[in-house]
Amino acid sequence: MTRRALISAQLIALAPLAPPGDRELTLDHAEDSPGLRKASPAKAAWLALVAYVRHNYTDYDGMLEDGYDVSSARHFCLTEINAVLCSWGCSRLVSGEEDSIEPEL
């Protein structure tokens, strides 16, 4: 099985109700990100999923443009991220204590 297929299986398990287009874009990020190349497929899927939701379903980037530091912007997006993850059938939520290897999109 290819790394892409392994990550894809992890994404489906993590967020079974995610729209297919969002899942594919998350998969592309997980596979292409230099910071995730050495991560396990499960870790790459989770970190890419959280990053994708943060950048596409919250005002995270706007907060950064407004001068928020990364930690504060991430904190203020937690509720929105978790709402999207829940709507996608994800049983795992963002706690704010995630690993710091996640690259920015």
For the stretch 78-93, pLDDT in tens is: 999 999 999 999 999 9
42 located within any domain: yes
Instruction: State which amino acid sits at residue 46.
Output: W
Residue 96: the pLDDT is 75
Q: Give how far the C-alpha of residue 93 lies from the chain's centroid of Cα atoms, to the nearest Å.
A: 11
> Could you tell me where the DSSP H helices lie in 1-105?
3-14, 20-32, 41-57, 60-65, 70-87
Domain that holds residue 40: 3-87
Phi-psi region of 67 (alpha: psi -120 to 50; beta: other; left: phi over 0): left
Helices 41-57 and 70-87 cross at an angle (nearest 10°) of 100
Number of domains, the chain = 1
79 located within any domain: yes
Whole-structure pTM value: 0.88
Cα–Cα distance, 40 to 51 (Å, whole number): 16
30 located within any domain: yes
8 located within any domain: yes
| Confidence band for 101, pLDDT divided at 50, 70 and 90 | very low
94 located within any domain: no
- Summarize pLDDT for 8-47 with one digit per residue, the tens: 999 999 999 999 999 999 999 999 999 999 999 999 999 9
